[in-house]
Amino acid sequence: MIITEGLAFLKELKFRNEHLFYFGLFCFIISIACLVLTQTTTIKVHGINAWYKPFKFAISIGMYSWTIAWFCHYLNHFNVSLFSWTVILLFGFELVYITLQASRGELSHFNFTAPVYTLMYSLMGVAAVVITLYTAYIGFLFFTQNFPDLSPHYLWAIRLGILIFVVFSFEGALMSSMASHSVGAVNDNSNLFIVAWSRTVGDLRVAHFIGMHALQILPLLSFYFFRNTRITIIIALLYGLLATATLIQALNGHPIITQNEKEIME
């Protein structure tokens, strides 16, 4: 049953946006390759295997591409082709550069050790801002256009999911201004599964992660479980508060999961 529904989803997604379908598929293939490399190589950046970063970005970009491709199908008078190629070119550039730097054991983000690295980091920032603003425009269209074929609870989940995504995407500017994702240390990482969030100081990536994935989580929960507009809005507000709470916690220098004393001694 699950396999059948999964294949039906992929077929529909390809029909809705073939370009982003294949780009997302490419990202997921890259993520698998990077995950294998985390187990077969010893290249490290800031204390963790260098291939975890392109793995996480590939997964995130792939999920964004497939999700936004699904949503854009509902829009009227929207140039889907222009948007799709903007995503492919800008996110493709980011993914290639992050992967290249990982292969060299070099930082892709917050790297100001050479002019070329500074330039590339700045260009990645521009790419992220352009896509976030484009996504904000899509959110505006979902708030202003009529969608008689969509259930109100699902529509509100899309609207609020995009809104939270945009807000916490721009949180990346905070990390950029600090040249670090950590508060209380410089780009601290811990062996916390794949995400490598700090267990000793505040980590701004937690709120960034939670907020951005509202784009997938809220519509899925509303479509399959809640099926109620009021409950969807309440859950979205609680979800936004969760992301905000983790941001405040990080800014105060506190980790999301504290390292115990035994681990610290080791």
3-state helix, strand, coil in the chain (%, to 5): 70, 5, 25
Handedness of CA 255, 256, 262, 266 (dihedral sign): negative
List pLDDT tens digits, range 148-180: 999 999 999 999 999 999 999 999 899 998 988
- Distance separating alpha carbons of residues 107 and 100, to the nearest angstrom: 10
pLDDT value of residue 191? 60
- The token duo for 239 is 């979800």
Q: Which amino acid is at 215?
A: L
pLDDT value of residue 192? 65
Q: Is the distance from CB of 218 to CB of 240 less than 8 angstroms?
A: no
In which element (H, E) is residue 91 found? Answer: helix 80-104
CA distances from 29 to 14, 22, 84 (A): 17, 10, 19
Q: Domain residues of the chain, as ranges?
A: 1-103, 150-258
List pLDDT tens digits, range 65-97: 999 999 999 999 999 999 999 999 999 999 999
pLDDT value of residue 256? 86
- Tell me the whole-structure pTM to 2 decimals: 0.94
In the chain (266 residues long), the average pLDDT of successive 10-residue segments reads 86 97 98 96 90 96 98 96 98 98 95 95 97 98 96 98 97 90 79 77 94 97 94 98 97 83 43
CA distances from 206 to 36, 41, 142, 235, 255 (A): 24, 26, 27, 19, 9
Neighbours of 188 (CB within 10 A): 21
In which element (H, E) is residue 56 found? Answer: helix 52-72
- Distance separating alpha carbons of residues 223 and 141, to the nearest angstrom: 20
pLDDT value of residue 244? 97
